[in-house]
Structure 1
């Protein structure tokens, strides 16, 4: 990997890892893809929630359009976000080989989440949501430097062996902060969506807008934590 070089060894404490991730959130150029991702996550979720089919019915055009917009937004905007957070020399929005390779990585992540639903179940109770979220975190965290490298690394980061090393510098830290910060946000996000679908919340729009913001914060923080794992492998 030719990017994210640093002459000084990274500090290894838990606090230093989080501080490094938070610092990356002010990286130049991050605002545009971040705002676009916020809009995509918020309004696609609202469209999906307002067009969910009744039990036994097929999804209508509104639900399909909302889901398609959400997936396309993740596939397209994840690349510039990860490149900027990782400090990649690749142009953030350039549709190069790494762009499409990263899209495959995003699809892999979504597929893992879907497989876990099939294995663990689609329980709408807090315990079931927590179990699925925990399993997803434990499965994806060791892959974090590679998933970032798919979008950011030079040359192409298709080989995971380039990134699955120096684990002491990033994996314990990534797991700790993911469980402390991203894990509860993911559970809250899921519970809000379920409550909105069931009509248990009267103020739909304020809560739905808050839920969109929560979804974005959860995603961008997760990306920042993953990017630091990549940067530590690159410097290591």
Structure 2
């Protein structure tokens, strides 16, 4: 059980974990139910950073929080966002062309623009809020819960992709993890409820778009889902 947790931490963050958690014959899908827990861990670390920055000027605090957020996750999901944006525009509605562009490691102007806009909105939302704020926990929590929900409900279209091994996790464990994420969000009050609604709307829209264009999700579109969810939660909270 704990091996799955450490594997999820090692994959979704840059926190050091024992290399042996990735060895052996156990399926990587054992980590999927732990994704919301990893989001909670990320959020806890960000909350601590927000507490340390509580006396700093708002713009500086927001910039340092966002920088810490990116460093902690290794910009993993930002890379997926950039690839998805490039592919969505460059693919011109064609499935195979879209998938081919996603495999290109280079980022074009559309991908760079998408990353800049998402980071800008995150920064503006963080600068608009007092710190520490519960949204620092809720945003990464719902961002990783969205990944679990996506793999539970959406086909994965690359048989040899980075997320192919995540398919097949126990529905019971994943459902329990998702329910916990919902409960924790609601317990933060009306801000949390509004953030949860925003996250669900983003999930429904992006899942529909991916099913329509690709027939399912890829690792890149899942990364984009996390970034878009976090952005929506921060903006909804700040508004």
TM (norm. structure 2) is 0.29
Greater C-alpha Rg: 1
